[in-house]
Amino acid sequence: MTDTARDLSTVLLLSGNEAIARGAWEAGVHLGSGYPGTPSSEILPALKDLGDAYVEWSVNEKVALEVAAGASIAGARTLTTTKHVGLNVAADPLFTLSYTGVEGGMVIAVADDPSMHSSQNEQDSRNYARAAKVPMLQPADSQEARDMTMRAYEISERFDTPVLVGVVTRICHSDGIVEVAPREDVELRGDLEKQPEKFVMVPGHARKARVVMAERMKKLVAFAEETDLTREEMGGRSLGIIAGGTAYTYAREAFPEASFLKLGLVWPLPPERILAFAEKVDRLFVVEELDPFLTEQISALGVDVEEVDDRFRIGELLPGRVREMITGEAPPETDADADLPPRPPTLCAGCPHRSVFAALRKLKAYVTGDIGCYTLGTLPPLEALHTCLCMGGGVSEAHGIQKVRGHEAPVVAVIGDSTFTHTGVAGLINIAYNAGVSTIVIMDNRTTAMTGGQVHPGVGVTLSGMPGRELDFVKLAEAVGIEHVTVVDPYEVAETEQALREAMDTAEPSVVITRHPCILEVEERHPAPALEIDACIHCAQCIRIGCPALSNAAAEGDKPLPAIDTVLCTGCLMCAQVCPVDALQVPEDGEGDE
Amino acid sequence: MMVENVLLTGVGGQGIITASTILSQACRLAGWSVKKSEVHGMSQRGGSVDSHVRLSADEQIASPLIPEGGATVMLAFEPLEGLRQIRRTAPDATVLIEKRIIVPVTVNLPGFSYPENLFDRLTASGRNITLLAAAEKAIELGEPRAGNSVLLGALATQIDLPEQAWWDAMELVLKPHTLEINRRAFDAGYEMMA
């Protein structure tokens, strides 16, 4: 390392995700658990890299939170990570963990995705803090993400409650300068004493716990009134703004001269501080991303909060949007001209999912989809995925469709290997149990691709890089009662189509496993095909599989003609296999040259 | 110094996030304030990618995102993406654009084509535009994947960071065996702007 770098060894450039991991690590966290989900996915790998704690990818968020619950009961400090929709999956344990409380400090980092950069909905996790009656901290940058995560452990242990650290995409995936410190070694608390009144939530115990929770909330409000996690920043008195998290940073940028009540603890709120702040300013705005969560609470205190148009409740804020919200003055138009061709994300060149969608399109299947890269199969020109609801949802949707439309309805569910282990497996058991007939395609690319290539049970390797018991999808399908199970390599286009056709034709539930590693994980390269122009019949079958390495750039007028980008092409030869006249062939001298 | 708002834009896989990380680390090493923001996940996979880097030698930075129309410098790794983001830059912004075109798959669909008058439209924006043959230069240097370092070198002429901070940042971020070629590419980009 250079001299300049050495002087800066305690001043790091960290993403919000890395900073959360850093804060947990410095606070002596013993166990981290979670399931990958943008924008939260990088927290646990960062914690693993720091060392000292046990860290795992659990099969889903509910399991992750329960693993953490066990560790907390055993006296450990725990960190569980999830994206907003993952907290829906973990909501069941969350709500009752609020009753049991903790032994070791328990922190849940939940990452929302305003504007839905990589999500199926835009929910505001602050509502969970209120509904589950647990405190939530909301950092505004990487430094605060580290600091508040550390503080969250103190709050958790002091008030005997799980604590939410609420972040958004622009915290998780923003880098900033963070001052760090060494790890504090923390002993496991207690002695794993049996405390049934605390940890067995039968009605008799829960009714008592419910009263304790109400007392706890009063204490948390008192804490909110005095904590330095929330601060008053007095500037000019004409405009006062109450805000936390990213909304604070945008408002600060837009109104550097205004007065702020900057909330670090966004649940519960400090009524006295809010009333006192409101007294000091002429006009009071509450600036927040997504739901009017703070606005409703603050208005309920009798504070005169200025009205904000509902359109500011949708999508991310920005400094100019905050200015418009308050002054009505619109920011400069930043949208591009409508005629520019969009560049949406696509299935990669060489993606093994492509041929599956091409075949399903040919078979005119109604495809119930799921969450992952393969959701992109809905985009033109493939247009071969017709629903996407939630993790595991497509499997059960297929069953529902066929229960009312019969086996004649050409329904196929597609689900990724990681998503299948997350929640798809329950839907498969349900199909077998309830005499379903659906065809379920497990698109097994040996990774959790969309979120950046995390391992999962089907891969047989754990987050720490150790061998784990590999989940055998074939045996699993057979064990739940599916008799028609086939495994194909989607690089074999005709075989894949045949396997799908047979499965759809079978009047019993079926599973087709299309297995080929993700092209981003293995960097598989084969020689690219070349076009024999004279043989081409301009049918555009190759172009219609939607490969980014194959464009229609060579077309003359309305006569399609493929052009192959040999840098992008991985030589998967799906295009060659769909060509009805074998016009796309690997040149002789290219063979064997992999 | 005011806050410099640098917008990097291009196509997923072009090394935009690596370039913005080097820029941000260089700021840290120089003792500056910096915030960098981008989107992962669905937005990669060959889609449009942008990265906001806000930096200052003496001011604290609040928002992680560049205010609307507030980019003071834009580095576009592909011309169409440059045009797509041009209104996010200030009217007097310095805009550096790679010349090499990457055709989006959507032009295979009815209703879309790669805009033919793209460079005229960029000029008509009134921004201070420089077109760069960085990809060509990288090929000339023997490493086609070093195009992003050529562009970063060009960007370095617009930001008053000490040279050593750039070198140290590259050493922190890049794999050791790629350091030498990327430094040569960076130098070549710097000289392009001379």
Q: B42 and A332 in contact by Cβ < 8 A?
A: no
Domain boundary among A164, A193, A226: A226
Report the number of distinct structural domains present in chain A. 4
Strand partners, A136: A164, A267
In a domain, A52, yes or no: yes
In a domain, A315, yes or no: yes
> Within this chain, do residues A469 and A420 fall inside the same structural domain, yes or no?
yes
- DSSP states of A308-340 as a string? --GGGGSS---HHHHHHHHH--PPPP-PPPTTS
B residues 118-177 lying closer than 8 A (beta carbon) to A? 121, 144, 164-165, 168, 171-172
> Within this chain, do residues A387 and A318 fall inside the same structural domain, yes or no?
no
In a domain, A24, yes or no: yes
**Residue A576: which domain range?**
526-594
3-state secondary structure A524-549: CCCCCCEECCCCCCCCCCCHHHCCCC
Task: Note whether A335 and A472 are within 8 A (CB).
Answer: no
Q: A330 — contact with chain B (CB < 8 Å)?
A: no
> Within this chain, do residues A291 and A407 fall inside the same structural domain, yes or no?
no
> Within this chain, do residues A124 and A241 fall inside the same structural domain, yes or no?
no
Residue B160's pLDDT is 94
DSSP assigned state of A265:
E
Q: B46 — contact with chain A (CB < 8 Å)?
A: yes
In a domain, A270, yes or no: yes
3-state secondary structure A134-172: CCEECCCCHHHHHHHHHHHHHHHHHHCCCEEEEEEHHHH
How is domain B4-193 classified at the CATH fold level? Pyruvate-ferredoxin Oxidoreductase; domain 3 (3.40.920)
Q: What is the CATH number of the domain that holds A565?
A: 3.30.70.20
How many Å lie between the alpha carbon of A347 and the closest alpha carbon of chain B?
7
Q: B68 and A344 in contact by Cβ < 8 A?
A: no
Neighbour-count burial of B6, counting CB atoms closer than 10 A to its CB (0-12 exposed, 13-18 middle, 19+ buried): buried
Task: Note whether A258 and A264 are within 8 A (CB).
Answer: no
Decide: pTM greater than 0.90: yes
**Testing the interface with A: which of B2, B61, B68, B83 to mutate, by most A Cβ within 10 A?**
B68
How many Å lie between the alpha carbon of A125 and the closest alpha carbon of chain B?
20
> Within this chain, do residues A222 and A251 fall inside the same structural domain, yes or no?
no
How many Å lie between the alpha carbon of A373 and the closest alpha carbon of chain B?
8
Which of A320, A346, A381 minimises the CB distance to B46? A346
> Within this chain, do residues A210 and A107 fall inside the same structural domain, yes or no?
yes
> Within this chain, do residues A502 and A589 fall inside the same structural domain, yes or no?
no
> Within this chain, do residues A145 and A201 fall inside the same structural domain, yes or no?
yes
Q: B5 — contact with chain A (CB < 8 Å)?
A: no
Per residue of chain A (594 residues), give pLDDT as tens: 344 444 588 999 999 999 999 999 999 999 999 999 999 999 999 999 999 999 999 999 999 999 999 999 999 999 999 999 999 999 999 999 999 999 999 999 999 999 999 999 999 999 999 999 999 999 999 999 999 999 999 999 999 999 999 999 999 999 999 999 999 999 999 999 999 999 999 999 999 999 999 999 999 999 999 999 999 999 999 999 999 999 999 999 999 999 999 999 999 999 999 999 999 999 999 999 999 999 999 999 999 999 999 999 999 999 999 999 999 999 999 999 999 999 988 899 999 999 999 999 999 999 999 999 999 999 999 999 999 999 999 999 999 999 999 999 999 999 999 999 999 999 999 999 999 999 999 999 999 999 999 999 999 999 999 999 999 999 999 999 999 999 999 999 999 999 999 999 999 999 999 999 999 998 889 999 999 999 999 999 999 999 989 988 788 778 899 999 888 899 999 999 999 999 999 987 654 433
Which of A12, A118, A381 minimises the CB distance to B108? A381
In B, minimum Cα distance to A558 occurs at: B110
In a domain, A198, yes or no: yes
> Within this chain, do residues A199 and A222 fall inside the same structural domain, yes or no?
yes
Amino acid at A430: N
DSSP assigned state of B88:
G
* Cis status, amide bond into A381, omega within 30 of 0: yes
Q: What is the CATH number of the domain that holds A152?
A: 3.40.50.970
Q: B28 — contact with chain A (CB < 8 Å)?
A: yes
Q: B106 — contact with chain A (CB < 8 Å)?
A: yes
> Within this chain, do residues A156 and A196 fall inside the same structural domain, yes or no?
yes
> Within this chain, do residues A424 and A443 fall inside the same structural domain, yes or no?
yes
In a domain, A486, yes or no: yes
Domain boundary among A206, A226, A246: A226
> Within this chain, do residues A452 and A502 fall inside the same structural domain, yes or no?
yes
In A, minimum Cα distance to B42 occurs at: A118
